């Protein structure tokens, strides 16, 4: 299998179905591709130029062989258009819908056959293609006013569904997080999830992969690729279609119990591949893994100034099998001696409404060797807390090298404080429970399968 | 894997075109693969009960049914047979079941920890193995784990330990742990049978686990019509 550089890092692109009309999909993609760093060749027999960029009547007319061609024409035209790609493109994204997903299996097979014959790798059909901010490559047919694009980052988003890709990209963009790549592979007639995992395992810009999956053609190849990728960088998979269970009439017990999802999930677990339960968890865990290195241990300490919020977090820890071990007696004593008597020096440690910035740091410094990770909860409405807290936590986190995430209760300085924490690579979550789930993705990482 | 496949090939060749096999036939194959099954004799329909025989009471008598029928559903099992007289009665009754090809008489298995080891062909992953604790664990809690066949002993152990019920195997409430090595041999054998590509489904249910061994009490197997994989 060759590298998919021609798809994800192309130097030249053709757009079949370019348009000057920004109300049409071809117009939107034309506009998006004008920012592309390499050479861009719009193709459409009805134009000679679009915004002073020369337009070609056919891909045959291009002066060079392009790395990537994006085909944005109705499905029935695709075979003929693709046939014209002979010797003119290394790979192609078929955006067009109306293939196997609508029952037109034969049309899809014809396209696959053509791709093989011409030696052109195909993404799609029925897909949005690629968003690669490092190349300024954007084949999404949604205008930027309608869908915010995330900045450059280290998270790759791999989605079988187009809508899910958009949803994830928008969410990441709005929360100021960056991606290395976004890709929607649709019907996976040629390039599938496993191919993309293989590529991402080698991709230097990608540190974490979050992936939405509905089905796969070859489970064994998928597991092999996912296993290899997960050994190099965190991979989080959200599988849809969990309800399908093995109720078919079968000769044996095994056959009756072997629902598609149960089998998938069980095999993932034993292969050490992380599955998340829902969209929130996919984003929350991805958020943490994009910023911090996982820890091998499983013991955390919660430091809060709001008792109730600490208790909610502790409850969530229990649900995830994260240990909230009590403080060693010596540390308890030391903290007790330097704090007012009404601070609760247990785990969670409750620094109460009287807390000052420095007391968070003093506490963390005391406990840092005893725990594998930290959850800081702050109700920022109290007068003792200032934006300086972000600086203290950032410095502590960087020095300790251990996972630390935060939840800030809503309040006057919360937004600003959150921004500073995020800048200091400390993920901030919208609820204590989600903070725990984010932290949990960083805990116990090295233990491998079967946990 | 190769040894298993070779023995399976010979077994299939000896059984012509049948899609399913009688219990004692599957058990014969397992015994050849070094898996323990209860001592027993098969009495073909219409033949007299051999006596004296070498089996130790109490015995169990089961109607041998071809195809997919379930013995229990049609009253095809007699448990706790204490002597020769009871055995004659049981065999005579079971032989009256119209489709019965005969009666399998076996020594009763001592109670141990019951588990299921099975194999099937999954549309996404091809041949897979299933492990689960028997009885309620499977029926009610669906506490089972799957893996891609074939498995080596390490992967077999990982499969077994992927179930919540695995704690029971390690000795629970003062009970001694079961013989894990014998269990792993059963799992590996099933994984090799299903992994051969010749089998559609196989179900060893229950397998009784003891501190000193594992015994396959009931076994079903179905041939794959299309020998892909």
Where along chain A do its domains lie? 1-126, 147-290, 294-446
Q: Please judge whether A449 and B158 are an interchain contact, meaning their C-beta atoms are less than 8 angstroms apart.
A: yes
pLDDT of residue B1: 85
Which parts of chain A sit beneath pLDDT 50? 1, 446-451
Is A250 in the B-facing interface, judged by CB distances under 8 Å? yes
Q: How much is the mean pLDDT over chain A?
A: 93
Chain A within 8 Å of B223 (Cβ-Cβ)? no
CB atoms near residue B31 (< 10 Å): 13
User: Any bridge partners for residue A235, and if so which?
Assistant: A209
Residues of B within 8 A of A255 (CB-CB) are 118, 120, 201
User: At residue B45, does pLDDT exceed 90?
Assistant: no
Gap from B128 CA to chain A (nearest CA, Å): 8
Contact criterion met (CB < 8 Å) for B203 and A253: yes
The CATH number given to A294-446 is: 3.40.50.261
Of chain B, the percentage scoring pLDDT greater than 70 comes to: 96
User: Looking at beta carbons, which residues of chain B come within 8 Å of A218?
Assistant: 124
**Rounded average pLDDT over B112-118:** 95
Which pLDDT value is given to residue A2?
58
Of A152, A159, A156, which Cα lies nearest the Cα of A177?
A152
Across residues B161-168, what is the average pLDDT? 92
Tokens 């790395």 locate to: A67
Classify burial at B7, counting beta carbons within 10 Å of its beta carbon; exposed 0-12, middle 13-18, buried 19 or more: middle
pLDDT, mean of residues B178-206: 97
Residue-level pLDDT at A450 = 33
Which residues numbered 8-37 in B keep a CB inside 8 Å of some CB on A?
20
pTM score? 0.91
pLDDT of amino acid A447: 44
Rg (CA), chain B: 18
Tell me which chain B residues have a C-beta less than 8 angstroms from the C-beta of A258. 120, 122, 128, 130, 146
The number of C-alpha atoms within 13 Å of A448 and in the hemisphere containing its C-beta is 3
Any long-range contacts for A308-313 (C-beta under 8 Å, 24+ apart)?
Answer: A309/A377, A309/A379, A309/A407, A309/A409, A309/A432, A310/A348, A310/A349, A310/A350, A310/A377, A310/A432, A311/A348, A312/A432, A312/A433, A313/A348, A313/A375, A313/A377, A313/A407, A313/A432, A313/A433, A313/A435, A313/A436
| Terminal-to-terminal C-alpha distance of chain A | 33
Residue B228, pLDDT score: 47
Question: With an 8 Å Cβ cutoff, are B203 and A251 in contact?
Answer: yes
Q: What is the DSSP string of A149-198?
A: PPEEEEEEEEESSHHHHHHHHHHHHHTT-EEEEEEE-TT-SSS-HHHHHH
> In the predicted model, what is the mean pLDDT of residues B142-146?
91
- Answer yes or no: same fold for A147-290 and A294-446: yes
At residue A271, the pLDDT reads 92
Confidence of residue B108 (pLDDT cuts 50, 70, 90): very high
Rounded distance between C-alpha atoms, residue A359 and residue A373, angstroms: 18
Average pLDDT on B105-121 reads 95
> If you measure CA to CA, which chain B residue comes closest to A218?
B124
Across the strands, what pairs with A405?
Answer: A375
Q: Which CATH architecture has domain A1-126?
A: 3-Layer(aba) Sandwich (3.40)
- Confirm or reject contact between A24 and chain B (CB < 8 A): no
Q: What is the pLDDT of residue A285?
A: 94
Q: Is the pLDDT of residue B16 over 60?
A: yes
User: Residue A240: exposed, middle, or buried by beta-carbon count in 10 A (0-12, 13-18, 19+)?
Assistant: middle
Question: Among residues B192, B208, B120, which one has the least CA distance to residue A262?
Answer: B120
Fold of A147-290: Rossmann fold (3.40.50)
In this complex, the residue of A258, A266, A267 whose CB is nearest that of residue B120 is A258
């Amino acid at each position: 299998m060759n590298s998919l550089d021609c798809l994800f890092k192309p130097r030249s692109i053709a757009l079949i179905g370019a348009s000057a009309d920004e109300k049409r999909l071809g117009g939107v993609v034309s506009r998006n591709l004008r920012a592309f760093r390499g050479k861009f060749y719009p193709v459409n027999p009805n134009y000679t130029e679009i915004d002073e960029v020369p337009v070609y009547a056919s891909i045959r007319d291009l002066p060079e062989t392009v790395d990537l061609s994006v085909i944005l024409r109705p499905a029935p035209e695709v075979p003929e258009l693709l046939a014209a790609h002979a010797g003119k493109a290394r790979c192609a994204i078929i955006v067009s819908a109306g293939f196997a997903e609508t029952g037109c299996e034969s049309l899809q097979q014809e396209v696959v056959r053509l791709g093989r014959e011409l030696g052109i790798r195909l993404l799609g059909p029925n897909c949005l293609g690629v968003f690669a901010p490092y190349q300024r490559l954007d084949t999404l047919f949604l205008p930027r006013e309608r869908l915010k694009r995330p900045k450059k980052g280290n998270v790759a988003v791999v989605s079988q569904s187009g809508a899910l890709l958009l949803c994830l990209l928008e969410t990441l963009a709005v929360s100021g997080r960056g991606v290395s790549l976004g890709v929607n592979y649709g019907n996976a007639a040629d390039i599938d999830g496993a191919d993309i995992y293989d590529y991402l395992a080698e991709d230097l810009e990608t540190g974490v992969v979050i992936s939405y999956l509905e089905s796969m053609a070859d489970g064994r190849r998928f597991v092999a690729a996912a296993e290899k990728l997960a050994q190099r960088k965190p991979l989080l998979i959200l599988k849809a279609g969990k309800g399908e269970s093995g109720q078919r009439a079968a000769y044996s017990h095994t056959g009756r119990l072997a629902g598609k999802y149960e089998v998938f999930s069980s095999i993932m677990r034993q292969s050490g591949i992380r599955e998340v339960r829902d969209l929130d968890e996919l984003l929350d865990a991805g958020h943490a893994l994009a910023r911090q290195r996982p820890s091998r241990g499983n013991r955390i300490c919660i430091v809060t100034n709001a008792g109730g919020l600490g208790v909610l977090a502790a409850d969530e820890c229990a649900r995830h099998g994260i240990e909230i071990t009590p403080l060693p007696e010596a540390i308890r004593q030391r903290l007790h001696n330097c704090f007012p008597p009404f601070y609760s020096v247990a785990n969670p440690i409750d620094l109460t409404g009287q807390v000052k910035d420095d007391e968070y740091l003093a506490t963390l410094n005391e406990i840092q060797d005893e725990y594998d990770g930290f959850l800081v909860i702050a109700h920022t409405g109290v007068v003792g807390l200032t934006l300086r807290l972000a600086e203290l936590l950032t410095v502590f986190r960087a020095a300790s090298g251990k996972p630390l995430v935060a939840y800030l209760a809503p309040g006057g300085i919360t937004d600003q404080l959150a921004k500073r924490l995020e800048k200091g690579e400390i993920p901030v979550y919208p609820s204590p429970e989600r903070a725990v789930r984010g932290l949990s993705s960083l805990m116990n990482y090295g233990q491998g399968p079967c946990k | 894997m190769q040894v298993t496949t070779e023995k399976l090939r010979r077994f299939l060749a000896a059984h012509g075109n049948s899609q399913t096999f009688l219990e004692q036939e599957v058990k014969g194959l397992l015994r050849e693969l070094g898996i323990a099954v209860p001592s027993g004799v098969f009495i073909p329909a219409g033949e007299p009960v051999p006596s004296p025989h070498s089996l130790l009471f109490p015995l169990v008598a089961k109607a041998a049914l071809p195809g997919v029928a379930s013995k229990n559903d049609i009253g095809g099992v007699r448990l706790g047979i204490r002597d020769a007289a009871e055995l004659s009665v049981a065999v005579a009754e079971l032989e009256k079941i119209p489709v019965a090809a005969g009666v399998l008489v076996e020594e009763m298995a001592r109670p141990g920890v019951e588990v299921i080891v099975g194999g099937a062909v999954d549309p996404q992953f091809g041949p897979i193995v299933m492990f689960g604790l028997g009885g309620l664990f499977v029926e009610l809690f669906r506490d089972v784990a799957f893996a891609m066949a074939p498995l080596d002993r390490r992967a077999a152990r990982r499969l077994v330990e992927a179930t919540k019920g695995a704690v029971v195997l390690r000795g629970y409430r003062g009970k001694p742990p079961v013989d894990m090595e014998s269990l792993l041999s059963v799992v590996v054998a099933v994984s090799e049978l299903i992994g051969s590509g010749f089998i559609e489904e196989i179900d060893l249910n229950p397998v009784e686990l003891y501190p000193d061994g594992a015994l396959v009490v009931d076994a079903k197997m179905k041939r794959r019509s299309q020998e892909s994989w």
